[in-house]
Amino acid sequence: MNILFLCHRIPYPPDKGEKIRAYHMLRHLAARHTVHLAAFVDDPADLAHAETLKRLAGGECLFVPLKKPAALARMALAFAADRPLTTSYFASPRLDRWIGEVLERRAIDRVVLFSSAMAPFLLKRRDVEPWRVILDMVDVDSDKWGQYASAAAWPKSWVYAREARTLFALERQAAGSFAATLLVSPYEMRTFAALAPETRTRLVSVANGIDLERYRPDEAFADPFAPDDTPLVMVGTMDYRPNVDGAIWFAEEVLPLVRERLANARFYVVGAKPAAALMLPRDGVVVTGRVDDVRPYVAHAAAVVAPLKLARGVQNKVLEGLAMRKPVVATGPASRGLELAPGFDCWVEDEPERFADAVIAAATGPDRDRIAESGRRRVERDYDWTANLQALDRLLDAEPRHDARTVTTNWRERPALGAE
């Protein structure tokens, strides 16, 4: 087939959650089809990988730099028009024109959209039938904004609630218009089906995977820690609000309890772009900033922690720890997208005292090796990219539903979040 693949972030290098999923989806599609790829670029350094992506895709490619002043101006107009800010950030006449040109030059069989931010590019077109389009929503982004609103003070709470409402209206129209909408876990699928029940039959759960060869427990890495450390490691992009809030919660609420009984415990926050709030001095906390490879930190960790209090979708940091056969301690929000068995595959706790108890058990307890081995077996069984993306193959190969009913909710209107 000729597949048009539109992505809100350039899917290379695959070094953070959304880019990892988009890259593996692109690679999977390109193994069987010719892919015409367009993506936005928010980091100019990523343009160095443009030729790699062109060779991988095999078709026409467009990479659109995101210019923040123009994007902020579009967001201001969207705010006045009561439209979602997150989608207006990615609006682009240049990409619109390119899509039209590709549709004229190529016989496009299917369109795959990665993230709800790309849905407006196809919702407004009349030269592509909706039954040709598959949307990978990944997770219910509008619900994340609703959670932000619940935790914030006014006026941020109002802005976040507005984004939750307007973005949900877009998600709902897209899921009701296109042939299928993918979500990263059964939990995310159930969440969206409860909010928009008329879309239920078009929702498909497609889990993330993990590169089991790259994240091997038997590979030798140099130890980055001091000899007398008991290192507790969290990895991630450290300007992402849920990561920042989770790391601070662990550092301030959990780590002191751990260090009362495990004096040499140190919390390593490993990842690029650490927020200023993380850089404040705290006893037993080391913020590394960007590292060339997170695997040595995971490989030599006494325990991997995922202390997120707010999370959507699947946390790759949890998958990476499990794949490297490390004992993992996570909160409920950080683990629920993975359908793990607490006490068998990992530890799951949400209160500071119980989380601290679990960390000590994971770092020093008699069950740590057994649970770490169970976690590795779990990802081998359930989180293989090739196996999980076969669901996308089935959707592409299926007989198209030319007569599929389109849900008529207009995303420019303002239905209440969760209204039926």
Residues 172-203: tens digit of each pLDDT: 999 999 999 999 999 999 999 999 999 999 99
- Beta 203-205 vs 180-183: how paired, if at all? parallel
55-64, 204-213, 387-396, 403-412: range with lowest mean pLDDT: 403-412
User: In what order do the strands lie in the sheet containing 180-183?
Assistant: 58-65, 34-41, 2-7, 110-114, 133-138, 180-183, 203-205
Q: Do 2-209+386-397 and 230-382 share a fold?
A: yes
**pLDDT at residue 417, rounded to an integer:** 31
* pLDDT tens per residue across span 61-120: 999 999 888 888 999 999 889 999 989 999 999 999 999 999 999 999 999 999 999 999
Of the pLDDT bands very low, low, confident and very high (cuts 50, 70, 90), residue 16 is confident
What CATH number does the domain located at 2-209+386-397 have? 3.40.50.2000
Model confidence at 400, in pLDDT bands (50, 70, 90)? low
Q: Which of 154, 153, 193 is closest to 175 using CA atoms?
A: 193
- In this structure, the chain runs to a length of 420
Strands (E), 169-300: 180-183, 203-205, 230-235, 265-270, 285-289
pLDDT at 15: 86
What is the band of 419 on the pLDDT scale with cuts at 50, 70, 90?
very low
Residue 410 has pLDDT above 60, yes or no: no
* Mean pLDDT on 242-270: 97
Domain ranges of the chain: 2-209+386-397, 230-382
For 230-382, CATH number out of 3.40.50.2000, 3.40.50.2300, 3.40.47.10, 3.20.130.10 equals: 3.40.50.2000
Q: Structure pTM?
A: 0.90
What does the H/E/C string look like for 113-152?
Answer: EECHHHHHHHHCCCCCCHHHEEEEEECCHHHHHHHHHHHC
- Rounded Cα distance between 112 and 114, Å, is 7
